[in-house]
Amino acid sequence: MPKVTPDLFEALNDPKVEAVLARLYKDAVKQINSVIWHLLPKAFQLFGKGIHWKAEKNVRFYDDKYIPIVPQQGMFLYMQARALNAKNILEFGTSYGISTLYLAKAAKDNGGKVITTEYLPHKAAAARQNFEEAGLSEYIELWEGDALETLKNINTEIDFVLLDGWPDLVYPVFKLIEPQLKKGAVIAVDDVKEYKPSMQDYLDYVRNPENGYISTTIYPNKGTEFTIKVK
């Protein structure tokens, strides 16, 4: 993660949200060394074609880890959602709510809301407290439980999506929500460089123009697959 400084949040123009983000990133940065040690045995994959999530032998390691998007991604997503005037925003993978705060600030400014999904109860509870402290609770619905189940109930049209749960679920979650995507919807996916083999099914689908999308990896400090539904 790049050095986190307050100027990275300034354009949100909301001291409460900025203060919560600064606190959460401070905690997230403290976990970086242990995440690096955890990934070290897979470093050769990381700097090669990417890691297979299915080879992850200890998913429980991540139970208390933030593993958030970086601040540059957060601001990029916030500004994209503002540019689109996105009102119905969906997120897969809340964790402690860092990315959700960016999306919810956009939802507030656009007059919309965010649905976010997390299956670990302690993370969901902590995220709710963070949303409260940031003054954004009323713009967020946190759907607790396995997103592959909870998102079967989605019936609103969606105009902006962040997929940031476990990498091998990106495609199944995407297929679940695809019927709800509006023309012009944006779908952003984190960790596309690190976990490319686990997302290849998704990448093959959205990069095939016959399926009605344009898609490429962009780098707001970290590889992010950026997809637009054009048909």
Residues within the interface to ligand SAM (CB under 6 A): 66-69, 93, 95, 98-99, 117-120, 123, 146-148, 164-166, 169
Residue 8: both structure tokens together: 């990275």
H or E element at residue 150: helix 147-150
For residue 208, the 8-state DSSP code is: S
At closest approach, how far in Å is the CB of 45 from ligand SAM?
A: 18
Q: Is residue 96 packed enough to be buried (19+ CB in 10 Å), middle (13-18) or exposed (0-12)?
A: buried
At closest approach, how far in Å is the CB of 157 from ligand SAM?
A: 22
Nearer to ligand SAM among residue 60 and residue 231 (C-beta):
60
At closest approach, how far in Å is the CB of 183 from ligand SAM?
A: 26
Nearer to ligand SAM among residue 59 and residue 155 (C-beta):
59
Nearer to ligand SAM among residue 50 and residue 165 (C-beta):
165
At closest approach, how far in Å is the CB of 187 from ligand SAM?
A: 14
Rg, C-alpha atoms of the chain = 16
Transcribe 46-98 into DSSP letters: HTTT---GGG-S-GGGGGG---PPPHHHHHHHHHHHHHHT--EEEEE--TTSH
Nearer to ligand SAM among residue 183 and residue 219 (C-beta):
219
At closest approach, how far in Å is the CB of 209 from ligand SAM?
A: 28
Contact at 8 Å (CB) between 205 and 194?
no
Contact at 8 Å (CB) between 213 and 227?
yes
Nearer to ligand SAM among residue 63 and residue 208 (C-beta):
63
Q: Collapsing DSSP states into helix, strand and coil, what is residue 86?
A: coil
